[in-house]
Structure 1
Amino acid sequence: MRSAMIASLLAGVALVGAALPATAQTAGNGALMIIGGALRPETSDVWTRLVTLAGGPGAKIIVIPAAAGSPQRTGEAAVATLKKFGAEADLVQIGPRYKDIDLRKAANDPANVAKIKAATGIYFLGGDQARITQALVEPDGKPSAVLSAIWEIYRAGGVISGTSAGAAIMSETMFKDPPPVLDVLKQGIVPGKTIDKGLGFLTDGWFVDQHFLARGRFPRALAAMQATGMTKGFGVDEDTAAVVRAGKLEVIGYSGVVLLDTSAAKGGANAAPFSIQGAKLSYLDRGDSYDFKTGAILPNPVKDPAKDKLDPAAADYKPYNEDPEAWPTILGNRTLVEAMGNLIDNKQTEQIGLAVDLRPNAPNPDIGFEFKLYKGPGSLGWYSSALGGDSYTVKDIYLDVRPVLLPKPLYSPK
């Protein structure tokens, strides 16, 4: 039954792909700016790059607030910020939360279509990504006139950008209405509910997730990839953007991007509770880039390719850290990247993290998860303090995840 549901989902994704001819992320004329959410108005490098990709000062950028709970208010705020950075920004009033505007009429309104066709950039706001697909995809699965116009911008060389929910819709498959991360790991992926069809601007089977490090979402992304057979993905952290253009991904903003590779990993498809062995994780720090075709990582230029390199297989490898480390809250804010940086610069070969569910209403409260991070073939790192604090770029840290049974009670007063 579960395999039939997955097959149905993938067939639906293929149908949308056929209806919306995709420009592959490795060869497209346009650019994608995938923002992990919580983008601050003062994060100027992200806003400036968005305006630049749309054509520079005076560029026409349309804000799509369909995902937002208060679309008019948040849409107007985004328009004001874009104008502050030099864009000629405007708002298209479309979304399920507009009470006095018919959704289907708005999605096919010639005036909205004309406004979008005159633009060189689109900016999708955050909120609930299912509202975006509800607004822009017709009930029969075909693209609305507004969505077709957005695709014209992308194929003509414009920029399609989105934050949070606006990032989730970029890939062919997206999270739709997922429960908390640990619930996903315990109960599995439900096609049509946990995940659904995205808009597919990012192609070639890449999966995208957002709020990635701040909310510890890397295991749920791995679970979704495992359930759908997707082997490549990345997660963008908050106040950070992944700029995808001409076959490359560049990281700008406050934090970084985690690359996920399950092509050689083992684990049952959509098994519940979740487990996986041999997934590979890489961390791209701000200023780093990634080549989709070759898989090469180019660190920020402040990191010297030779002097700042950390190669566990090299004879001159002299890691800074020596002591074993453990991470009792591996799903905490940026804990994953802290662990990856510590491990690549540590004489120890592995580290253990845990995720325990202490919610009183948690499903399966006796189940937790062990995360084993370890170095293996191809593991590399680069370190610099030039960006402020310890800044690591990390390539190919391996990850095993397995469920573990927790004693009852887990703890008691002394």
Structure 2
Amino acid sequence: MQKIKGTLIPIGGNEDKGIEADEMYTLEFIDEGILYHVVKEAGGIDAEIVVIPTASSIPVEVGENYLTAFTTLGCNNVTVLDIRSKEDSEKENSIELIKNADCVMFSGGDQSKITDKISGTTIHTILVDRYKNEKGFVIAGTSAGAMAMAKEMIAGGSASESFIKGAVNMYKGLGLIPELIIDTHFIKRGRFGRISEAVAQFPKLIGIGLAEDTGLIIKNNHFEIIGSGMVIIFDGRKIKHNNHSVLKEGTPMSLTNLKTHILSNGDRFNIKNKKIEVLPIEAPFI
């Protein structure tokens, strides 16, 4: 596994954006919220942050929400890059923004829009190169923006189907973290079945189910959990029975010896050797 110098921060969606009127909540957002961690990893409030709302059906409103959130955190250099076509990904202004950014933040929405409009373009090449080779460079993404980080990307599928072949649609993502398959809004939307099928299709990969307002800081082949919810890890490397390849679409599946872990704030996972470091019970909340 190549030693990667940059940082990824996938987020499970619906992260706190500091818009609560109550001062207590605003202070918690500034001191502990996920976007605070994004800013910190990018170098602080003077970092050049580029928000890409491509996945959203309302990109202007979403971009404004992030401008407000990062401004609340004290950030001075935040730009919204509204990419709506592959041609936009090849524009000189787009390329320069990505070349100079300390952090690129992908919004939620439809992850297929990100890959359709960015995958294979010049800015995609720059993102991958900078992530691999530049220490301190951050790529963050919430919901769709998190799912698009994978190589084998969940593009959609039914969460109501318990464990049915064909309940998940897979597509090629941006390939930033090929060892993982990422799903988001995981607890609230009951997505156990579809990530289980994704892992059944790609048992050598680790499935990650991110709850809302929960994320990972991925660097140096490790990740640490941040935020208020849980992360469920699906390790299918030692599956003993997997009938995905022989079943017809719409047929209930069976899968045995799928290992799962439930982690929360401060816990760590080694992507290379698949080992877990759980925060001691007596440790303070991070």
Normalising by structure 1, we get a TM-score of 0.61
Kindly state the Cα deviation for residue 294 of structure 1 after the two structures are TM-superposed.
3.5
**Corresponding residue to 1:164 among 143, 152, 161:** 143
1:33 aligns to 2:12 (yes or no): no
1:212 aligns to 2:194 (yes or no): no
Kindly state the Cα deviation for residue 84 of structure 1 after the two structures are TM-superposed.
2.0
Identify the residue that residue 6 of structure 1 maps to in structure 2. Answer: none
Identify the residue that residue 108 of structure 1 maps to in structure 2. Answer: 90
2:131 aligns to what SS in structure 1? helix
Q: What is the CA–CA distance in structure 2 between the aligned matches of 1:185 and 1:215, rounded to whole Å?
A: 14
1:273-292 alpha-carbon deviations (Å, 9 max, x no partner): 12111111101111111122
1:71 aligns to 2:59 (yes or no): yes
Kindly state the Cα deviation for residue 256 of structure 1 after the two structures are TM-superposed.
1.6
CA 1:231–1:152 in 2, change beyond 3 Å: closer, same or farther?
closer
Identify the residue that residue 286 of structure 1 maps to in structure 2. Answer: 265
CA 1:229–1:283 in 2, change beyond 3 Å: closer, same or farther?
closer
Identify the residue that residue 224 of structure 1 maps to in structure 2. Answer: 198
1:275 aligns to 2:258 (yes or no): no
**Corresponding residue to 1:82 among 65, 70, 91:** 70
Identify the residue that residue 185 of structure 1 maps to in structure 2. Answer: 163
1:228-263 alpha-carbon deviations (Å, 9 max, x no partner): 344422111100111111121101111121111111
Identify the residue that residue 125 of structure 2 maps to in structure 1. Answer: 148
Query: Retained in 2: the 8 A contact 1:189–1:227?
Result: no
Structure 1 gap ranges (5+): 1-23, 96-102, 138-142, 305-383, 388-414
Query: Retained in 2: the 8 A contact 1:188–1:274?
Result: no
Percent pairwise identity: 28
1:119-172 alpha-carbon deviations (Å, 9 max, x no partner): 1111000000011011102xxxxx112222222331322011100000110111
1:166 aligns to what SS in structure 2? helix
**Corresponding residue to 1:58 among 15, 27, 46:** 46
CA 1:293–1:147 in 2, change beyond 3 Å: closer, same or farther?
closer
Identify the residue that residue 35 of structure 2 maps to in structure 1. Answer: 47
Tell me the amino acid that sits aligned with residue 155 of structure 2. K
Kindly state the Cα deviation for residue 187 of structure 1 after the two structures are TM-superposed.
4.1
**Corresponding residue to 1:196 among 171, 177, 188:** 171
Q: What is the CA–CA distance in structure 2 between the aligned matches of 1:289 and 1:277, rounded to whole Å?
A: 25
Kindly state the Cα deviation for residue 189 of structure 1 after the two structures are TM-superposed.
5.3
What's the C-alpha RMSD, in Å, of the aligned pairs?
2.0
Once structures 1 and 2 are overlaid, which stretch shifts more, 218-227 or 66-75?
218-227
Residues 116-135 of structure 1: pairs in structure 2 closer than 5 A: 116-135=98-117
1:181 aligns to what SS in structure 2? coil
Query: Retained in 1: the 8 A contact 2:160–2:190?
Result: no
2:160 aligns to what SS in structure 1? helix
Tell me the amino acid that sits aligned with residue 258 of structure 2. A
Tell me the amino acid that sits aligned with residue 114 of structure 2. I
Query: Retained in 2: the 8 A contact 1:109–1:145?
Result: no
Instruction: Point out the structure with max Rg over C-alpha.
Output: 1
Identify the residue that residue 91 of structure 1 maps to in structure 2. Answer: 80
CA 1:41–1:90 in 2, change beyond 3 Å: closer, same or farther?
same
Identify the residue that residue 25 of structure 2 maps to in structure 1. Answer: none
Kindly state the Cα deviation for residue 224 of structure 1 after the two structures are TM-superposed.
1.1
2:156 aligns to what SS in structure 1? coil
2:257 aligns to what SS in structure 1? strand
Aligned positions, number? 265
Tell me the amino acid that sits aligned with residue 299 of structure 1. V
Kindly state the Cα deviation for residue 220 of structure 1 after the two structures are TM-superposed.
1.0
Identify the residue that residue 3 of structure 1 maps to in structure 2. Answer: none
Higher relative contact order (CA 8 A, sep 6+): 2
List structure 1 segments (4+ residues) > 3 angstroms apart after TM superposition: 228-231
Q: What is the CA–CA distance in structure 2 between the aligned matches of 1:159 and 1:290, rounded to whole Å?
A: 19
Q: What is the CA–CA distance in structure 2 between the aligned matches of 1:152 and 1:278, rounded to whole Å?
A: 37
Tell me the amino acid that sits aligned with residue 202 of structure 1. I
Structure 2 gap ranges (5+): 19-28
Kindly state the Cα deviation for residue 267 of structure 1 after the two structures are TM-superposed.
1.6
Q: What is the CA–CA distance in structure 2 between the aligned matches of 1:125 and 1:249, rounded to whole Å?
A: 21
1:185 aligns to what SS in structure 2? coil
Q: What is the CA–CA distance in structure 2 between the aligned matches of 1:153 and 1:294, rounded to whole Å?
A: 25
Kindly state the Cα deviation for residue 64 of structure 1 after the two structures are TM-superposed.
0.6
Q: What is the CA–CA distance in structure 2 between the aligned matches of 1:117 and 1:81, rounded to whole Å?
A: 23
Q: What is the CA–CA distance in structure 2 between the aligned matches of 1:65 and 1:171, rounded to whole Å?
A: 18
